[in-house]
Amino acid sequence: MNSITKIAEMMVEFVKSELGEDITLTAIEQATQTALQELGRQTVESTLKTLNTPYPDPTVTCECGSEATYVRRRSARLHTIFGKLDVKRNYYLCATCHKGTCPLDKELGLRPNALSAELARWAAMVGVQLPFGTGRDLLEALTLVSISDQAMSKATQQIGEKVVEEEDAWQEKAQDASFIQQRQQERKQPRRLYGTMDATKVHIRDDHEHRWRDLKIGAWFEASGQPPTSPNGEWSIQAQNIHYYTDICPAHEFGDLFWCSGVAHDAQLAKELVILGDGAEWIWNLVATHFPKAIQILDWFHASEHLMPIAHVAFATDEKQAQWVTEMKQLMWEGQIDELIAACDALRATCTNDVIRTTVNYFENHKERMQYAHFREQGYQIGSGTIESAAKQIGMMRMKVPGAIWNEENARTVAKARAAYLSDHWQSLPLAI
């Protein structure tokens, strides 16, 4: 600590000499940040210099197994959190495979002409939050480090690629019956686990046209708290330990991802597995395929939103519309779905609008998923706000910013990177450490 104190004392004198008479807190902060940036750059550069042995071994073992011979010291430009710096490393050439190598690069994780791992982590953290151009400007303003839009994009996509690698590994494991059996013996059974799925649109550019594609999103989580005692009460349920997964792919492929991610969180072992979703047919088809024993719940908010369109076509005044919706919500809340369907169907005698028929069919198809009184008695969450939030945070806030048109693979990897960030999965990814 004494050494740090001495450095600080020297910094005080340096900053004061730089500022002269024009001293304000802002000026002190800016001058100190600039000085620390240069101090850090020189420290990293000098430290790397001392770690490169001055008397290199004449040969080292090449990756091919042959001997590589020392040639010279080779210079490399590194892009670090303290800015650009140059370092010379011992360079060897293999006469067998004709590949060159610098052992120091592997030992220290050096990335010549690329962002260091830490700077890449910073860049990707900004890249999952903001458009790359805006993010680049913010990163430079906060850190004094300048990188290109392309470098930020690449760092963000690399995180997504690491997520893909992990998902591929889990997909392979999840298809292995012996792995599933072993996991059943070794893992603790979750008491209650929730899963949910949804989709949002992403603007994709291909060779011939611009089109909107489904970005499918899944989540696994736990929940605490209780739903309110009435349809209009205050909701206190909180989702916890949320893990998001996303992809741009056909439904059956996303089903494989949902299954393997479920295995990763022991969904197949849970004493109670609860799946929430809206009325999308693809969601419940995947649940039936991969988790047929799960408790299926139609999101309360999606279900109740179908009432007002009926009221609009069936009743002339706002008062009657509101009264009818309130009564129907109460039936729905109490799980009296047959009575709800009958009340809606009765309106067809005086109103022929298709919205009534469509809604009645919707309720018929999902009535087993609408037993809200029973679900509430069991303490189950009946709203899919967790996945709605994910669709907003991944889709609206990053993938659908104004003017965004994506290459499909870039959209896929950036969305996966953002999902990892929102899941607190960031630090466990190889690029992020």
Buried b (16+ CB within 10 A) or exposed e, 203-240: ebeeeeeeeebbbbbbbbbbbeeebeeebeeeeebebe
246 and 308 in one domain? no
Average pLDDT over all residues of the chain = 91
391 and 279 in one domain? yes
Residue 243 inside a domain? The answer is yes
The tokens of 131 are what? Answer: 């458009």
353 and 312 in one domain? yes
CA–CA separation, 58 and 258 (whole Å): 53
The tokens of 50 are what? Answer: 């001392």
Q: What is the dihedral of CA 222, 227, 233, 239, to 10 degrees?
A: 0
Contact 92, 100 (CB under 8 A): yes
Q: What mean pLDDT comes out for the span 403-430?
A: 88
187 and 268 in one domain? yes
For position 231, what pLDDT does the model report? Answer: 79
250 and 199 in one domain? yes
330 and 283 in one domain? no
Domain C-terminal end among 114, 143, 160: 114
Nearest Cα residue to 291 out of 271, 257, 265, 262: 262
Q: What mean pLDDT comes out for the span 158-177?
A: 94
Domain C-terminal end among 344, 370, 396: 370
Q: Give 80's contacts (C-beta < 8 A, 6+ positions apart).
A: 41, 44, 116, 118, 119
402 and 347 in one domain? no
Residue 342 inside a domain? The answer is yes
Nearest Cα residue to 246 out of 428, 130, 415: 415
pLDDT, tens digit, 9 for 90 and up, residues 343-363: 999 998 888 789 999 999 999
pLDDT, tens digit, 9 for 90 and up, residues 17-29: 989 887 899 999 9
β pairing state of 67-80 and 59-61 = antiparallel
Contact 298, 277 (CB under 8 A): yes
252 and 199 in one domain? yes
356 and 258 in one domain? no
For position 311, what pLDDT does the model report? Answer: 94
For position 372, what pLDDT does the model report? Answer: 95
CA–CA separation, 362 and 306 (whole Å): 9
Domain C-terminal end among 370, 398, 414: 370
Angstrom CA distances, 203 to 156, 283, 362, stand at 19, 22, 29
Angstrom CA distances, 425 to 256, 421, 430, 431, stand at 20, 6, 11, 12
For position 153, what pLDDT does the model report? Answer: 95
Residue 242 inside a domain? The answer is yes
For position 431, what pLDDT does the model report? Answer: 58
Please count the structural domains in the chain.
4
CA–CA separation, 216 and 259 (whole Å): 14
pLDDT of 115 above 80: yes
For the chain, what percentages of helix, strand and coil (3-state, to nearest 5) are there? 55, 20, 25
Residue 148 inside a domain? The answer is no
286 and 219 in one domain? yes
Residue 151 inside a domain? The answer is no
Residue 174 inside a domain? The answer is yes
Contact 372, 340 (CB under 8 A): no
For position 236, what pLDDT does the model report? Answer: 65
Three-state secondary structure call for residue 234: coil
pLDDT of 168 above 50: yes
292 and 392 in one domain? yes
Q: Which residues span the domain enclosing 3?
A: 1-51
335 and 226 in one domain? no
For position 433, what pLDDT does the model report? Answer: 42
Q: What mean pLDDT comes out for the span 38-61?
A: 93
Residue 162 inside a domain? The answer is no
Residue 259 inside a domain? The answer is yes
Lowest mean pLDDT, pick from 34-48, 354-368, 374-388: 374-388
Q: Percent of the chain having pLDDT more than 70?
A: 97
Q: What mean pLDDT comes out for the span 198-212?
A: 84
pLDDT, tens digit, 9 for 90 and up, residues 227-270: 677 777 766 667 889 999 999 999 999 999 999 999 999 999 99
CA–CA separation, 314 and 324 (whole Å): 10
Lowest mean pLDDT, pick from 45-49, 275-279, 387-391: 387-391
Q: What is the number of other CB atoms lying within 10 angstroms of the CB of residue 76? A: 19
